Amino acid sequence: MNIEHYLQKIGLTEKEARLYTAALQTGPAPLQQLVQASQLKRATVYDVIESLKNQGLMKTIAKGKRKVYVAEEPQNLFSLLKQKENVLTGIVGQLVALQNTAGEKPSVRIYQGTEGIQEIYNDLVSRRGNYIELLSKKMPDPKLLDYWTTEHVQKRIKKGNFVRVIAPNIPFYQELKDKDKYALRETRLIQEDKIPTENEIFAYRNKVAFITQEGDNSLGLIIESKDICNTMTAMLEYIWQTLKI
């Protein structure tokens, strides 16, 4: 691989590389001499000289009444690369942001029936990670309640996932709160009329799960999106901070 190919690898065009190496070999030279040395057309040589001057690789000097063109020191290539590095550093963050914005498309999965809701509960504890949840002001379906208070809790404790629970202030959840220290959980109670939804909401690991318990007609969905999860977590966090311990 000759020197011109290496110059192209660091960003010069084929014609810029050819003219720059020719100018280094000829030394200070008039335009016509560079045309002959580079074997490029006269108009092309003039345009390429201007481009190389803008990159700090050539300059024009007066020699008597004539203009001659001189290649700058090859060490100037380091300055050129540094300039390009600075430009790249400035835009990489923006490019990454564009990539994330374009690349992240929320996925939605729908679950039906008691078995489907159990799948959502299992997803909560499928990996390590603490989370926050808002429970419905409706009493849980009996079939799901037994699973949620026993097997699901055991799986969560085994995985080491701490959960913060926002629950309606009714006797059932008051008793649940009393058992927090045994269940790797902290529960804060909220007045029933202050709960904004009849759904259960879970924010965890860049996901948000919604559950409506109606026995065999229960319905749930999981949305996987970092932005949506961050938004829902912030909303639940706000409610959490307003409640008494």
Q: What is the pLDDT of residue 5?
A: 86
Q: What is the pLDDT of residue 97?
A: 65
Q: What is the pLDDT of residue 146?
A: 86
Q: What is the pLDDT of residue 142?
A: 84
Q: What is the pLDDT of residue 66?
A: 87
CATH 1.10.10.60 fits 3-78, yes or no: no
Query: CATH number for the 107-242 domain, one of 3.30.870.10, 1.10.287.90, 3.40.50.300, 3.40.50.720?
Result: 3.30.870.10
Select from 158, 113, 132 the least CA-distant residue to 229.
Answer: 132
Q: What is the pLDDT of residue 102?
A: 52
Low-confidence ranges of the chain (pLDDT < 50): none
Q: What is the pLDDT of residue 167?
A: 93
Q: Is the dihedral of CA 20, 26, 31, 36 positive or negative?
A: negative
pLDDT in tens, 8-25: 888 889 999 999 999 999
Q: What is the pLDDT of residue 245?
A: 65
Paired strand residues for 164? 132, 186
Residue 77: count of CB within 10 angstroms of its CB: 18
Q: Tell me the C-alpha to C-alpha distance, in Å, between residue 220 and each of 19, 106, 201, 237.
A: 68, 16, 10, 22
Q: What is the pLDDT of residue 21?
A: 93
Q: What is the pLDDT of residue 130?
A: 95
Q: What is the pLDDT of residue 93?
A: 65
pLDDT in tens, 162-191: 999 999 999 989 999 999 999 999 999 998
- The residue ranges of every structural domain in the chain are 3-78, 107-242
